Structure 1
Amino acid sequence: MSETAPPSAEDPDTRLGARIHALRAARGLTLEALAGRAAVSRAMLSRIERGESSPTAQLLGRLCGGLGITLSALFAAAEAAAGPVVRRADQPVWDDPESRYRRRQVSPAGSGSPVEIVEVEFPAHGRVAFDRQELPGTDQHIWVLEGRLELTLGEEAIRLEQGDCLRMRFGRPILFRNPEDRPIRYAVILGHGAAP
């Protein structure tokens, strides 16, 4: 009879769960309070924090909304040393288990910069939806590096071609869709402290 080994601290789900737990605790929120804010069940939130569940991008978006942070802030390592350079090999990467999109935190964490840069590799015909999230004073720019990206912001449909850049605010549901038969790449640039 073999025993299952506990999740490794190197396991992405364990690291992510610990990060969510730490952010929740730092805000003085109970499991019930964050679950209510994020519209997820307490049991699901508990499984995520214990590293027993691989949350989707949509679910993480809800949790970030409940915590009042961006996905970038969620993925930034709490203990990351501030520095002007982060090598590609050291940039945190996360794969959404549902849409299979890959998210790479490009900008150095802990630098105090009001700007964050994320690179997204989006699979052929991929789609991911995020619920409405309120983040006052935060802008995001979507810059298509390769391919074509379709977005729906609330009721507004927008098509971005390679090289196009869209500035938008949080506050509406967002649907990202890759209409291509091949993966595409885009950058998300977040600016904090922007004027309304």
Structure 2
Amino acid sequence: MITRSVAYSGTVSDTLGSSLAATLQVAREAHGLSVSALAERAGVSRAMIGKIERGDAQPTAVLLARLAGALGMTLSELVARAEDGGGRLVRAADQPTWTDPASGYRRRTVSPASGRPLELVEVELPARARVAFAGDSQALVHQQIWVLDGHLRLHEGDTVHELDPGDCLQLGAPGPRVFANPTDRSCRYLVALTRR
């Protein structure tokens, strides 16, 4: 597991890491889960969860998605809860942004945090970057990907989709997915998620 510090960009405060740690612990306890039970559900070591909850380590996007999924929420929900948003309007300057320390993948939660049936997330994938998600991290949601700028190569199992600006793809059944940017410029895309 990668334990490097999370890089922040945009308007996210330097306290998001500790907020994520506290939010993760509160969500785990609200589900009545011990660290061991969450570790088993998420396929993550107890030691890593302990480090995250203590603020000694920051998870990558992939690890955070696994933990969120094991707690019955999406990565966007977890980040939004850490930012403590609650209104129906969230200004661009107040939308939480988080950068994965492993890939440079940057996600901005566009949607308001509370009571939403639909989530909108803007992602920027740097040149030559790739992020692989296990199938269990998407089991809770239906997703569509709309490419805004650049080129996205999306692997769904053995199927590869080459997406350019304006292309919109409805993702299939949950399974392993790899988001890759094979070009020399960044790729920006919108992810629309609804609960299954």
- When normalised by structure 1's length, the TM-score is 0.87
Deviation, 1:132, is 1.1
Correspondence for 1:50 among 49, 54, 59: 54
Aligned length: 183
| Percentage of matched positions with identical amino acids | 50
Which structure has greater helix proportion?
A: 2
Write the distance in 1 (CA, Å) between the matches of 2:41 and 2:159: 26
Alignment-derived partner of residue 176 in structure 2: 173
Verify: 1:124 aligned to 2:108, yes or no: no
Counterpart in 2 of 1:80? 85
| CA displacement, residues 107-166 of structure 1 (integer Å, 9 cap, x when unaligned) | 1111x2211000011100010011111655621111100011001112211111111011
* Structure 2: gaps of 5 or more residues: 1-12
Q: How does 1:13-162 map to 2 (within 5 A)?
A: 13-77=17-81, 79-83=84-88, 85-110=89-114, 112-133=115-136, 138-162=141-165
Residue aligning to 2:7: none
What TM-score do the two structures reach when normalised by structure 2? 0.87
RMSD: 1.7
Please identify the structure whose Cα radius of gyration is greater: 1
Moved more, 129-138 or 175-184: 129-138
Tell me the equivalent position of 1:12. 16
Distance across 2 between alignment mates of 1:31 and 1:20: 11
Give me the whole-angstrom Cα distance separating, in 2, the residues matched to 1:170 and 1:93: 27
Taking structure 1 as reference, are residues 191 and 27 closer, same or farther at Cα in structure 2, changes over 3 Å only?
same
Q: Structure 1 unaligned runs (5+)?
A: 1-8
Which amino acid letter does the alignment assign opposite residue 15 of structure 2? Answer: D
Structure 2 Cα separation of the partners of residues 50 and 13 of structure 1: 10
